[in-house]
Amino acid sequence: MSKRDYYEVLGVARNATEDELKKAYRRAAQKHHPDRNPGDASAEAAFKEAKEAYEVLSDGGKRRMYDQHGHRAFEHGMGGGNGGAGFGDVNDIFGDIFGDIFGGGRQRGPRRGADLRYVIELDLEEAVFGVEKRIDVPTLVACRPCDGSGAEDGKAERCKTCQGHGQVRMQRGIFAVQQACPSCGGRGQTIAKPCKTCHGNGRVQEDKVLQVKIPAGVDNGDRIRLSGEGEAGPPGGPPGDLYVEVSVREHPIFQRDGNDLYCEVPVRFSQAALGADIVVPTLDGEALIKVPLETQTGKQFRLRGKGVKSVRSHSHGDLLCRVVVETPVNLTARQRDLLKEFEATFEGEHGARHSPRSSGFLDGVKAFWDRMTS
C-alpha cells in the first residue's frame, strides 16, 4: 500500500515553517494518541503516520531528500546519516508535544479528568437580566460501588512495568519518547480485582444534573466555568472543569450589539409629517419618544441607559430606535379620495419643495442621462 504524502498527513503546505510543522503534529498527536483512543486501531495508525511524517519533515536534511525523491529517499538506507536536528533538539520537541497530552513530560501520578463544554440557549431577556437554569450534562462520574478506585476491594498494586512511575521511556534509533505506561495506562498502579460496575475504569457514564446561575449581561460566546464539574479523573485523579457557553436566541423586536439594543419603530406617514408622540417598548417596560414634524425614514432616536448592563462593569448601554415610515394599507374609499386630493397639491413645480429627496433623485437621474447621451 502506497504511503500518503507527508505534507498531506500533517495538513501543511510544502513551504511550512518549523513552527507550523510542530503545531500541526501537536494537533495530530493529541487527536490520535492511543491513550485518548483506547482500542481504536485506525487512530493508532493515524498517530504513527503523523509521527513518521513529523520525524522526516522536522529534520532539515531528511526534508530536503524527501522533497527531491519522495518516499524513495528512505528506501534501502538511502536516507541514512546523522544530518539534521540533534538528539537534544528532537527530545525537546517531543517532550513539548507529549507534555501537552500527559500533563507534562515527567509528571507522575493520576491524570486529570477532561474538561467539558455545554452550550446553553437563552432568550434575550434571560441574558440581559440573568437567570438560573437546570442543565443535564452527559459525562463520566466516579463509580459509586468502588468509590472511583476501579478495584472491587479498593486495593491496588504498584505497576511492575513502570515501577509506579506511570510512564516509560521508549527508544527508537535517535528518538527517545516518554509516554504513558501501556500496562497501567499512566496510573502507576494495577488492579487485581476490577470493580464489576466500572470494570476497573473507576468511572461510569451518567447524566449529571446541575443548577447554573447565569449573571446579568452575558452575550453570545460568553463562558461560565464550573470548577470540578467536568469528567471525573481516572482513579485518584482530580475532575476536569465544565464550561457553559452562552448562545442567545434571536429576538422578535430587539437586536443586540455589545451593550446597545436596536429596534425599528413603524410610524404612519401622517405622524412622520406632522410629528407625534410614539410609545416604544423597552426590556423593562415602555418609553415615549417625540417624533418631530417632517421626520424621514431612518431617523434614529437614542434612549440612554435603556440597553444592557455590562456583565463586566456597572455601565449601561443605550436603546436606539430607528423610525420606519409605513405605507397605509386596506384604505377606505374616503381615505383614498383624501389621498388623491392631497397628492394633487403637489402638482407643478412648487411640489418639489415638499419632497427634497425625490427632487434630488430626479436631478441626479437627469444629470446621469445627460452624461450618457452627450
Judge whether 238 and 207 are in contact, CB under 8 Å.
no
321 is in an annotated binding site: no
162 is in an annotated binding site: yes
181 is in an annotated binding site: yes
Cα gap 312→208, rounded to integer Å: 29
Q: What angle do CA 126, 131, 132 make, to 5 degrees?
A: 145
263 is in an annotated binding site: no
Q: Which residues contact 187 (CB under 8 A, 6 or more apart)?
A: 110, 159, 166, 181, 234, 235, 236
Q: What beta strand segments (E) does 197-305 contain?
A: 203-214, 223-226, 242-248, 255-257, 260-268, 276-282, 285-291, 300-303
159 is in an annotated binding site: yes
The amino acid that residue 296 corresponds to is Q
List b or e across 97-131, with b for residues whose CB sees 16 or more CB atoms inside 10 angstroms: bbeebbeebeeeebbbbeebebebebebebbbbbb
Residue labelled with grid coordinates 446621469 = 368
Residues flagged as binding site: 143, 146, 159, 162, 181, 184, 195, 198
Residues flagged as binding site for Zn(2+): 143, 146, 159, 162, 181, 184, 195, 198
